[in-house]
Structures are given as C-alpha cells and as structure tokens.
C-alpha cells in the first residue's frame, strides 16, 4: 500500500478524528478496517478517487486493513468486465488491497439467513403489493405512510413465501421482502424499506443459483459486519441511510463494537460529468469516442490522456475531507497535474504549426548537434540530449508576424529572435505563394551567438522553439479543452439531452503534420513531456505506434480556458490553425484505450484496423485465418490481427495451447485487463507462457479463477506459470482426503447452518461450497466440493 499523496500531509479532518478517538479508546481493540465497495456496473471516475484515497489512506495511517469489495447484488447491470476495469484503475492509482478482495455475491447465503432471522423476529414480512402501490403507500415528507394490507402476515406465512421466493416459484415483482419498521417515520427510508426482490436474471458470478437479490440498504451493512469493517465511509447522500444501516445490524444480532457509517462530502468538479447515466448518451451519440475519451472524467479517460496517477491523489489531498458539499474549480485539478509534471517531465521542442526557415548563410549539409538540457535549473533532475541543427528549420507560424501588434516580442521582418539552445537569427526575406500565404522565411544566423548569448551585448527580446526540418519527426497532436461549454450546471449535467447540446465543439483539435525533435524516438512509450512553450504531452496509447506518432495534450502550461471564457471571444488569430475532428479510437492495443463497453457499441471491425490490413496483406491473411479457419468471432479476429506484435503473441500462445477461442479470451479479456499501459513487448513473459497457463486451466491443474491470480503475478514479475501455480499454492485440489479436511473445518464453523440444512434447507449448500472455495483460495474443484459436502451433510 502506498501513500495517498505527495507533499500534502493529510489534515486531521473529522473522519480521521473519529478514527483516532476509536483507536485511542480501544473501541475495536485497536483495529481499523475500511473498504471501497463499488458496484461493478460501469467505469470508475474522478469522483471515486476521493473515496478510494480516503479509505486506503486511513487504513495505512492507522496501521489497519483495506478491503476492495464489489457490491454485485444487481444481476441485470453488472459484468466481470467492470470488475477487471476497476481493479486495473485502482492499481493504476497506486493502491493494492492484497488478499482482501471480496464480492457481495459470495455472501448471498449468509444474507438470506439474516433475512430469515428478521422474519422470525417479526421484523420483516413478504409484501405482495405492486411496486407502484408500495411507492404510493409510503406517504410524503409531511404525511405518514399507510400500512401494507400484508404487513400482519404470520411468521409462518412469511417464511413460507420467502422460501418459495428463493425457490423461484414466483415471477419478477410478485412479492418483495420488506422490513417492518415504522410507516410514520420522519425518515422515509425507514418506512418499511424493501430488503429483497425477485429477479430472474443471470448473475455474472453466481449464474442462475439465485432468483432473489438483496437491496443495497440490507446487504451493505451486513457485508461490512461479515468482513469485520470498523468504519464504513460513504458520501453524504447516504446520510439518511445510516439509520437503516444501524437498524439492520442491531436487528439481526450484531452487537457492539460493530461497524458504523460515517459520511463525507463527495467530490464535485466544475462541469465534470461523472455518472454512467450521463456519459452513456454521449458515447452512443458519438459526441465522445468512448469511455476512455481523454475529455471525460473517467479514470480510463484520464489514463489515456496521460494524467499521472499521483496528480489525482494529490488533488483529492488538496481538496480535503468535509461534511459540506461544494463544487471544485477544475483549475485546481489542472494545477495538481502541472505540479507533478513540472517536477518530472523532460523538456523537448515541438512545432505544431510549422513555418519553414532557411538560413541562407549556414552551410548546407548534415548540420551539427547541439546539447540541450531536459530540465530547467529549478527542477532537481539532470539529463540532456543532442538536438540536430541544420540549414532548414521549422518554427511556429505564430512566432512570426509580418505586421506585428504592439508588444510582439518574436520574429518580424528585419528583426531578431533567439532560437532556444542555438543561435540568434534575423529575418531577411518573406516568401509567399500565389495566394499570398507566407510559406518560407529567409534568415541569417549569427555564428557567434551559439547557446543564445550575444558577445556584443545587444538585447534580443524573444526566444522561440524550433526543430530541424531534415531531422524532425512527423506527428499528430491532439489538443483537448473542456468538454462542455462554460455554465453547464450540475442540474443540466443530469439531463442527457441538454448535455449533448452543451458539448463544446472546440473541445478537441487534431493537428496533422506537427514536427517533433527526434530525441523522443527512442524514449519509452509512457514518457510524459513538456513541449516547450506549448504544454504537457504524451503518446496516445491507443492510436499511436512507432510508425505513427500521436500525442495527447495532458494539460496546457496555463489555464487558457479560463481566459477564453472570461473574454467570450474567439481564439487569437495567432492560434494554431487546424481542423476539429473526432479521432478514430482503436479498441486494442492497450487496456488504457478502448474497453469492452465501447466495443459492443461499435461495429465489430475497426475501420482503422481494416485500413491497416488493406495496406498490409499479411495482417489481412491473419484476420481471414482467425475468423474462418480458427473459428474466432469477428471482434476477436479483428483485435488479434491489429498488429504484427499482437498476432505474433497470439500465435506463440497457440503453440502452447492449441485452443484458439480459449487463448483469444485470455488475451482479449484477462491479459488486456491486467497489463495496463504496457505494450505486449514490455511484458516480462511471452505468448508461450500465456498459452501454457491456459493449458494448465484446461488440464484441470488450476481453476480459471485462481489462474487469474497467476496471470496477475506474471504481469508484475514474469515467471513460469507452472512454477507460479505451485509457489502460490493454487493447484486445484481434487484430492478427496485433503478436501474433506477443509470441509470438516467449514462445517464445524457453521453448526447452526448444518442443522438448518439437515432440517430441510438444502439451498444452504451454496453457502458451504463458497466457504470451502474461500478457504482454498479458489483452488478446490467446485464439483468435487459439492459432492463431498452433500455426502457429509447427509450422514
């Protein structure tokens, strides 16, 4: 676990004061256990960073434990895709939950048991009203609710109906289980809240084992109690839920010290859209390129844009923890990003709108190489690179003015300017084309001014960046601005139709033909740069490649948006001229780019990859073979033939495990979800190792679930999958003697449940199977476990 922020010592906010007091009083015997419990029904956004950092930070500061728990109690909207995405994003932020990964669905058996406890105590009943009738009978904030006609059902009838609900005898909506509390309570959430509902839906982890599912207010607090959570931290909108949180725990029998809920103000950022409900229409309408669009406030969007994770951690540290909600100016987030990049990003030169310079008195030929530092003197880092200088150069078009306005300090006809790290030059002639556009400047250079100094002491006011025309690299550069026009209130953001109307048409500018100094060619793909005088950039991890450089602007050097909106004026005529287009986003080559959600919403074949295959017959041949001979889906064939590197990795994996569909699933879903921003070539293992792991699963040596843990270890440090399975103790256990020992321990730990099972509650078998699987860390063969349990319980 790592520190939650850099340079911002956590203040003693009210949450930490509560935890500190509990520790000092010995309330939980000194224990501090926190958790982050997202529902896996979407992608994490910047608002989640506050909750993640707070829970991790408190656990770390007080020597406690942090849990990551997926609150997966709604089968209709949840998917393993989101589970993997969230784990990946949280690890990217710099946090690790270790062995404490939990799923609410693993507690379904226990939650069902607690529901029966409430029924037996007369604190819950089965209501057969419709959803509309239940809502209408709740009353208003000024009028009490009306008791359900089924509120006085006997305990026996309620138990019978609830068990039949569990047995899937009824259709969706036929009955619900409600808490019997107080229909006149001033807290409307306490007016007999619904605890369970019928949903005949396939659960991504539990399959069709269940057809009734607990609601948040019932499940959430019990999950905390089951895991031994001490401080349940959530955002302020759940304040009224605290009363039912305490009621459920007290009513089912959890005694003090038990978990307690504390609320803090959620993170609201000016003009940031955070909810899935708001973002989805933008994706579907093509207003953004996907859930990883760099203009979005999803963590996948931030990752693709190039925002350093420590900047987000620092940002939430700057915002702090409070009880009162407020909207944070997005400029504060930009400041946190710049603060990190200023101290870490190497400086290089780039020209986005190039204007050619010809130095008429400079000798023709290869030129010379000038030494240029990567960092200014106020950054405590060292390093330099060679920058080629030759007769023909490029400068920014905006750095020359034929008729300069007052105060213009750059190049003008007959005037001088200093080329960064190089020489002073003078403009001697302006060359124009037939339409009168400036196409070239003829200049002279002063050989005595190498490095920028003027031996004769004359003052040269301006300094500009440049690149050698002969040596510069061509690149596409994407400039991002705020996604929404200024003034989009939170209320407006909650209305998808209004949101589409408020999308800023200049929120992305794509510049073709930018020129970058050649030193970047050999740098790691994840290097973040400051393009001098321009902003902070990094290579787009989706659309960029060695053959095609694409750079995303992470953040400008200054908050230009604030100045633009304050003036309500068009951009300066010296702005870079370019067309505003929507980039084509490839879903593969890395997980920080396209994700499964956007893939489903687009055609299975990417136009960009199709074009690449048209240009490269060998890739086209692979796509044809994968989709026909190997029988892969069009989507998988498209992704796996995206590049030679991807195809080679897949082919190598097939050499170790000749089951194309299985290997494809491992590559497209599991590996892609774990490898982060790294290219396949940057992994500490090759395709053969992935194929070997798939073969171990197919051969029954390790379960699919446990093999994911092995793959995560491989991504981190490499290793032979067979050796790792043994080292991590994950070999699938089907030895009946070994399993019987674990089963005996589980049954001894649940004597009341054993009695209930033998009394006729046969569906408790799921609880016992889950406990054995947990005890063996997923290594047991579930079919063998179920058989042995049945035998033991029937004895």
DSSP 164-220: HHHTT-S-TTS-EEEE-S-TT-SSGGGSS-EEEEE----BTTTBTS-SEEE-HHHHH
State the Cα–Cα distance between residues 619 and 545, nearest whole angstrom. Answer: 16
CA 256 to chain CA centroid, Å, is 37
Give ∠ CA 164-169-175 in degrees, rounded to 5: 70
> Are residues 444 and 486 in contact, defined by beta-carbon separation less than 8 angstroms?
no
Identify the CA nearest to 158 among candidates 198, 193, 126. 126
> Are residues 502 and 541 in contact, defined by beta-carbon separation less than 8 angstroms?
no
Phi and psi angles of residue 733, each rounded to the nearest 5 degrees, phi first = -95, 110
492: tokens are 């407006």
Per DSSP bridges, beta strands 384-389 and 350-351 are unpaired
Q: Which entry of 16, 91, 266, 705 is annotated as an active-site residue?
A: 266
Identify the CA nearest to 694 among candidates 654, 649, 723. 654
State the Cα–Cα distance between residues 440 and 455, nearest whole angstrom. Answer: 29
95: tokens are 């946090």
Identify the CA nearest to 53 among candidates 10, 102, 7, 18. 10
Q: Which entry of 20, 276, 409, 704 is annotated as an active-site residue?
A: 276
Please name the residues in contact with 533: beta carbons below 8 A apart, sequence gap of 6 or more: 464, 465, 557
The residue ranges of DSSP E strands in 518-665, in sequence order, are 528-531, 535-539, 549-556
Verify whether residue 276 is a known catalytic residue: yes
State the Cα–Cα distance between residues 445 and 363, nearest whole angstrom. Answer: 11
Verify whether residue 39 is a known catalytic residue: yes
Identify the CA nearest to 454 among candidates 430, 429, 427, 426. 426
- With H, G, I as helix, E, B as strand and everything else as coil, classify residue 105: helix
Residue linked to tokens 């982890």:
205
Cα–Cα distances in Å, from 260 out to 221, 225, 246, 263, 442?
9, 9, 7, 10, 74
> Of how many residues is the chain composed?
795
CA 128, 131, 132, 136 torsion-angle sign: positive
State the CB neighbour count (10 A cutoff) for residue 490. 14
DSSP 761-784: -GGGHHHHHHHHHHHTTT-B-HHH
DSSP symbol at 310: H
Per DSSP bridges, beta strands 473-480 and 438-446 are unpaired
Identify the CA nearest to 118 among candidates 195, 186, 191. 195
Verify whether residue 50 is a known catalytic residue: no
DSSP 238-294: GGGGHHHHHHHHHHHTPPSS--EEEEE---EETT----HHHHHHHHHTTSSSSTT-T
Residue linked to tokens 């994700």:
595
Q: Environment class of residue 297 by beta-carbon count within 10 Å: exposed (0-12), middle (13-18) or buried (19+)?
A: buried
Please name the residues in contact with 558: beta carbons below 8 A apart, sequence gap of 6 or more: none
> Are residues 710 and 701 in contact, defined by beta-carbon separation less than 8 angstroms?
no
Q: Which entry of 20, 39, 420, 428 is annotated as an active-site residue?
A: 39
Helices and strands per DSSP (H, E), number in the chain: 29, 27
State the Cα–Cα distance between residues 72 and 702, nearest whole angstrom. Answer: 25
Active site residues: 39, 266, 276
């Amino acid at each position: 676990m790592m520190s939650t922020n850099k340079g911002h010592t956590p203040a003693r906010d009210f949450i930490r004061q509560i935890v500190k007091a509990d520790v000092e009083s010995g309330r939980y015997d000194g224990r501090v256990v926190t958790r982050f419990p997202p529902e896996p029904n979407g992608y994490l956004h910047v608002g989640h960073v506050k909750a993640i950092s707070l829970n991790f930070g408190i656990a770390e500061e007080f020597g406690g434990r942090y849990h990551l728990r997926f609150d997966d109690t709604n089968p209709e909207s949840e998917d393993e895709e989101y589970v993997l995405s969230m784990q990946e994003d949280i690890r990217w932020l710099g946090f690790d939950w270790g062995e404490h990964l939990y799923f609410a669905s693993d507690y379904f058996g226990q939650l069902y048991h607690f529901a029966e406890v409430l029924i037996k105590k007369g604190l819950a009943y089965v209501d057969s009203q419709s959803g509309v009738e239940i809502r209408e009978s709740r009353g208003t904030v000024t009028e009490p609710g009306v008791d359900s006609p089924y509120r006085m059902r006997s305990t026996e009838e309620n138990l019978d109906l609830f068990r039949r609900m569990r047995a899937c005898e009824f259709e969706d909506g036929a009955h619900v289980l409600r808490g019997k509390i107080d229909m006149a309570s001033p807290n409307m959430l306490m007016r007999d809240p619904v605890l369970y509902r019928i949903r005949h839906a396939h659960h991504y982890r539990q399959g069709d084992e269940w057809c009734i599912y607990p609601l948040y207010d019932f499940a959430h607090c019990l999950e905390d109690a089951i895991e031994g959570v001490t401080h349940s931290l959530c955002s302020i909108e759940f304040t009224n839920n605290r009363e039912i949180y305490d009621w459920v725990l007290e009513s089912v029998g959890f005694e003090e010290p038990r978990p307690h809920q504390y609320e803090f103000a959620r993170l609201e950022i000016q003009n940031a859209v955070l909810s899935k409900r708001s973002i989805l229409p933008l994706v579907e309408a093509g207003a953004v390129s996907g859930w990883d669009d760099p203009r979005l406030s999803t963590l996948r969007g931030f990752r693709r844009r190039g925002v350093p994770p420590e900047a987000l951690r620092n940002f939430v540290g700057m915002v702090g923890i409070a009880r009162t909600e407020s909207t944070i100016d997005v400029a504060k987030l930009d400041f946190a990003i710049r603060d990190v990049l200023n101290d870490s990003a190497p400086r290089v030169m780039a020209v986005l709108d190039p204007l050619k310079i010809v130095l008429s008195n400079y000798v023709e030929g290869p030129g010379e190489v000038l030494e240029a530092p990567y960092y200014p003197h106020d950054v405590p880092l060292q390093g330099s690179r060679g920058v080629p200088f030759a007769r023909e150069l490029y400068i920014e078009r905006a750095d020359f003015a034929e008729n300069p306005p007052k105060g213009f300090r750059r190049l003008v006809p007959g005037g001088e300017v200093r080329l960064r790290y190089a020489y002073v030059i003078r403009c001697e002639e302006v060359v124009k084309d037939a339409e009168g556009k400036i196409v070239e400047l003829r200049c002279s250079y002063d050989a005595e001014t190498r490095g920028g100094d003027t031996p004769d002491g004359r003052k040269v006011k301006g300094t500009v960046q440049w690149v050698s025309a002969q040596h510069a690299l061509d690149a596409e550069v994407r400039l991002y601005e705020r996604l929404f026009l200024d003034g989009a209130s939170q209320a407006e953001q909650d209305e998808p139709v209004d949101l589409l109307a408020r999308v800023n048409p200049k929120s992305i500018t794509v510049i073709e033909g930018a020129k970058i100094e050649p030193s970047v060619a050999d740098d790691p793909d994840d290097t973040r740069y400051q393009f001098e005088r321009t902003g902070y950039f990094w290579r787009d991890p989706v659309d960029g490649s060695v053959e095609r450089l694409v750079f995303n602007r992470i953040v400008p050097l200054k908050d230009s948006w604030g100045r633009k909106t304050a003036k309500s004026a068009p951009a300066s005529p010296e702005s870079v001229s370019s067309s505003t287009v929507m980039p084509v986003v490839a879903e593969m080559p890395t997980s920080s780019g396209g994700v499964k959600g956007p893939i489903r919403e687009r055609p299975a074949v990417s136009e960009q990859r199709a074009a690449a295959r048209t240009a490269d017959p060998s890739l086209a041949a692979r796509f044809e073979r994968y989709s026909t001979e190997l029988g892969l889906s069009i989507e998988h064939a498209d992704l796996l033939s995206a590049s030679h590197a991807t195809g080679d990795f897949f082919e190598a994996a097939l050499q170790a495990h000749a089951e194309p569909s299985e290997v494809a699933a491992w590559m497209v879903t599991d590996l892609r979800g774990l490898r982060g921003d790294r290219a396949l070539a940057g992994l500490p293992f090759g395709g053969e190792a992935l194929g070997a792991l798939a073969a171990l699963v197919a051969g029954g040596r390790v379960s699919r679930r446990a093999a994911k843990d092995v793959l995560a270890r491989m991504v981190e440090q490499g290793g032979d999958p067979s050796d790792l399975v043994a080292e991590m103790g994950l070999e699938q256990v089907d030895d009946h003697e070994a399993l019987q020992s674990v089963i005996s321990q589980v049954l001894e730990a649940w004597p009341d449940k054993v009695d209930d099972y033998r009394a006729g509650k046969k569906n408790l078998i799921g609880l016992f199977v889950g406990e054995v699987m947990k005890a063996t860390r997923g290594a047991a063969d579930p079919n063998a476990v179920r058989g042995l349990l049945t035998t033991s319980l029937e004895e």
